[in-house]
Structure 1
Amino acid sequence: MGSKGNNPEINVIPPEENGFPLTKEFLELAFDREVSTFRTEVGTNPGDNYLSIMHAVEVIFKGEKESQHYLVKCYPNHPERREFIDQTDVFSKEFFMYEEFLPQLKQLAVERGAENIVDLSVAPVQGGNIVGKPSKFTVKPWSDENFILMTDLRKTFGFTMADRMQGLDLDHARIVLEEMAKVHALSWAYKQKQGLNLLSDKYPQFVDNFYSNDGAMKEFEDLMDQIAANCVKMTEDKLGASHPACKSLKNNVNKEGLKRVEQFVLKSGIDEDEMESFLRIKPEKDKDYNTEPWLLGTHGDCWVNNLLFLYNDQVPKKPVTVTLVDWQINREACPTLDLAYFFFSSVRAPLRIPNLDALLKVYHDAFLRYCDALQVKPLKGFSFETLKRRFRRAEYFGLLMSLPLLTFVLKPPEEAVDMDADATEQLTDIYANIVKDSDQNTALKDEICATVLNLYETGVI
């Protein structure tokens, strides 16, 4: 970005262009330190982030020679997207997770002597501002903006994002499942320690405001109408319009099917019998099967772009640490929702389908291991067979979530749509540009068709 005024060392992102004034004054207020020089640049590529804008900031503080690297996560410029974020309160939820809840989980591991086993990886956050919540920014020009200021893990420690077009291999998938099991086990242990029936009884931030919000769901339904039609067309083109899998898909991506999304994220948990009634092939009756909902703190948006990996120095390199970022859609829910969302968005069908049981076993064993380290009994009835049964009905949720997500994920980078390029453009037109020609995307067509065919063969749809 270009500098402003006569001082080339003070680089400012103009508010009229980017919606957020990253000035020397702002940085000194944020860090409570004098800044010698700084420079800014775009923090993410177009198509990589949908609910915010990320600015990367390189700072040299007075008296130091080494640069420090940070990210400022801000509201997007587009007015309709800003309204959507206000409706779902995602900034406040994420700030709560970083400032309050995740630190409590890490402290819980320390208290139980398990910090070396349940070593949750969390991006350091330096602060932020949530409108209506007192902060040192309240009396400054930034008081009407929500933002989060955090360490840039990429430039500070060497974390990198995986290739969303390729999806994750088994090594990456396993380490993500281990980290996901840490989050789930820690939140479950926290509930037991606090004697909570529901996390949301203490923290309303764990109530889902995304799919339960009428305004947000209307927007989601409008987008799904376009995407569902495309996906049906793709499956019919590849499998044939008369194929029963195509007919099942068509019956499940209508408005009635989408309403079931809300039932997966109810505050009181999933009605097991009702969810299983939607499956084309129902599971066998089992009088001993426990239908009590599994409820714990989940990430809610665990896909490849919200995962940062650190690698070893071997050849070929292997991931040794993963950090889950972007906690804007966290909710108290069944852990299988996180699993289905992750598998369908981030592990491609040719790898996922033959290895599904083995990957679920990685998660199952890790969750039990972490519960043991945290000195807490696992979820009631947490057997591998029960996990597979509950995951199977969560695959319905995974399918509905993956259709719009994969349309974004598998869009070639050179065709990525910058959702903030024109703040006057209608959101429906932006979505139309994203969906445009997606039925001609071979990678997307192959992934959708393989998933739909598999879910038909296993009787999910």
Structure 2
Amino acid sequence: MVEQGKVDSTKDFHPAPVWLDEAYLEPILRVQKKDPGLRITELEIKPATAKGDNYASVMTRVKVLYLNAGAKTPEVGYYIVKTTYENDPFASEIFSGYQVSTTEMLMYDKILPQLSALIEETRQPEQVFAKTLHVDYEHDAIIFEDLAITKHVLADRLAGLDLEHARLSLRKLAKMHAASAALNERQPGLLTKLDHGIFNRHTKGFAPFFENLVGVAADFAAETPELGENYARKLRALREKVMEYTTRVYDPQPEGFNTLVHGDFWVNNMMLVYGEKKEPLDLKLIDFQFCSWSPPAVDLHYFFNTSLQREVRFEQQDALIQYYHTVLVETLKDLKFGGYTPTLRDFVLQLEKGKFFAVTASLTCAAILTNGETTDADFHALMKEDERGRRFRKLLYNNKSLRENLKYLLPRFDRSGLLEVTD
């Protein structure tokens, strides 16, 4: 039976799907365990997504006690069930335009197993993704192993990653990128059809969030003595262009290196295992709703500007790019990739071409991903032009770390011409 008393129903967590029960899970476990006589004896369900942790989906943690056919002692399984905002028409309509469920189900069902197999072919094979138990196309749901049981945990999104964490993250990302390029070469067109990233040419559903937060950034600049009205004026003009300029970063570059990018590559989309001295030992990537065929600049600029400790972000970025490139090239070579493999210099120039995403990520994404005030932290507050939404977006800019970073970054973006409105 479901232990309803064990469900955390506080307002700070998203509720579990109503259809998630023994009748739903038992047939799935019977197939997975190859035991038609398997019977669930106890089911414990807990919401796993707190407000502010994830704005695009609902995560539910499930503990299952089950008896195999003929057994007297129950076994236990731990799983994560990932679903969409099915009971929220406002969120559902916007996310459906981005094909988030279709993309992620395809990733877990078809793509990630093939990428994992390719990585196993290399000289340094390792697991990069969580194992999938079941993909449910009817409920737009995915069930996969609960990494928390194997002592995988999230890093501190408010503190950011140090150099050791950053290198581990980029090693995994580089292998995903290399395997994706090789897979698409072996199966032409398989991955290039994925083109509904956070910025794309099909929908601008997230525009209210990005444009409104650039407006908040302009207000912040106007009231900050170190910045002032000159920066505020430029950001107000940029507000109308942020969607188009960032979408250009996502557009595949015919003359450059393209691959399947993660699309939401930041602290909360990686699970880590630590050693006795709190050193990171391993990491697995999660959350593949916004994958798209794009330049690697999408993942790298997003990661650098949302997930790193300040000194790593501003002092180690060149070294991290070089490290990522080394792993990328080595993995492509192992996979006998016959397409374009950029030199480090060419790769750096390609990243520079996509540098506008550093502006977008710093002004908007970093504001929500490093937000510690979660009272109104939901999708409605991000998107709606009402008093609650305006209050929440303004609150995001009370973040001291964000404000200090932008005092440092905005003059540098300006000197690089990234705040200019051109076409």
Q: Structure 1 length normalisation: TM-score?
A: 0.79
Q: Distance in 2 between matches of 1:160 and 1:125?
A: 18
Question: Aligned-pair distance for 1:84?
Answer: 1.4
Matched, 1:301 2:264: yes
Q: Distance in 2 between matches of 1:121 and 1:259?
A: 32
Q: Distance in 1 between matches of 2:52 and 2:18?
A: 20
More deviation in 257-266 or 319-328?
Answer: 257-266
Out of 323, 326, 336, the residue aligned to residue 362 of structure 1 is 323
- Equivalent residues of 2:99, 2:196 under 8 A apart: no
Question: Aligned-pair distance for 1:28?
Answer: 0.5
Identity %: 23
Q: Distance in 2 between matches of 1:47 and 1:416?
A: 9
Aligned to 2:35: none
User: Relative to structure 1, is the Cα distance of residues 17 and 48 closer, same or farther in structure 2, using a 3 angstrom cutoff?
Assistant: closer
Matched, 1:67 2:76: yes
User: Relative to structure 1, is the Cα distance of residues 3 and 106 closer, same or farther in structure 2, using a 3 angstrom cutoff?
Assistant: closer
Out of 336, 339, 348, the residue aligned to residue 388 of structure 1 is 348
- Equivalent residues of 2:249, 2:297 under 8 A apart: no
More deviation in 47-56 or 438-447?
Answer: 438-447
Question: Aligned-pair distance for 1:454?
Answer: 2.9
Query: Relative contact order, CA 8 A, sep 6+: which one is greater?
Result: 1
- Equivalent residues of 1:120, 1:182 under 8 A apart: no
Question: Aligned-pair distance for 1:401?
Answer: 3.3
Question: Aligned-pair distance for 1:174?
Answer: 0.5
User: Relative to structure 1, is the Cα distance of residues 377 and 399 closer, same or farther in structure 2, using a 3 angstrom cutoff?
Assistant: same
Aligned to 1:31: 29
Secondary structure of the 1:211 match is coil
Q: Distance in 2 between matches of 1:181 and 1:73?
A: 25
Secondary structure of the 1:22 match is coil
Q: Distance in 2 between matches of 1:443 and 1:233?
A: 17
Secondary structure of the 1:440 match is coil
Aligned to 1:375: 336
Aligned to 1:121: 128
Matched, 1:175 2:138: no
Aligned to 1:152: 146
Letter in 2 for 1:58: K
Q: Distance in 2 between matches of 1:441 and 1:220?
A: 22
Q: Distance in 2 between matches of 1:125 and 1:240?
A: 50
User: Relative to structure 1, is the Cα distance of residues 57 and 167 closer, same or farther in structure 2, using a 3 angstrom cutoff?
Assistant: same
- Equivalent residues of 1:200, 1:332 under 8 A apart: yes
Question: Aligned-pair distance for 1:177?
Answer: 0.7
More deviation in 239-248 or 445-454?
Answer: 239-248
- The CA RMSD over aligned residues, in Å, is 2.9
Residues 55-112 of structure 1: CA deviation (Å, up to 9, x unaligned): 11111111444532111111223211111122211111111111111111222344xx
- Equivalent residues of 1:348, 1:447 under 8 A apart: no
1:257-296 matches, within 5 Å, as 257-266=242-251, 269-270=252-253, 292-296=255-259
- Equivalent residues of 1:249, 1:452 under 8 A apart: no
Matched, 1:189 2:175: no
Letter in 2 for 1:147: A
Secondary structure of the 2:224 match is helix
Q: Distance in 1 between matches of 2:398 and 2:404?
A: 11
Secondary structure of the 1:369 match is helix
Question: Aligned-pair distance for 1:169?
Answer: 0.7
Out of 273, 296, 301, the residue aligned to residue 310 of structure 1 is 273
Question: Aligned-pair distance for 1:183?
Answer: 0.5
Q: Structure 2 length normalisation: TM-score?
A: 0.86
Matched, 1:319 2:292: no
Matched, 1:227 2:216: no
User: Relative to structure 1, is the Cα distance of residues 193 and 225 closer, same or farther in structure 2, using a 3 angstrom cutoff?
Assistant: closer
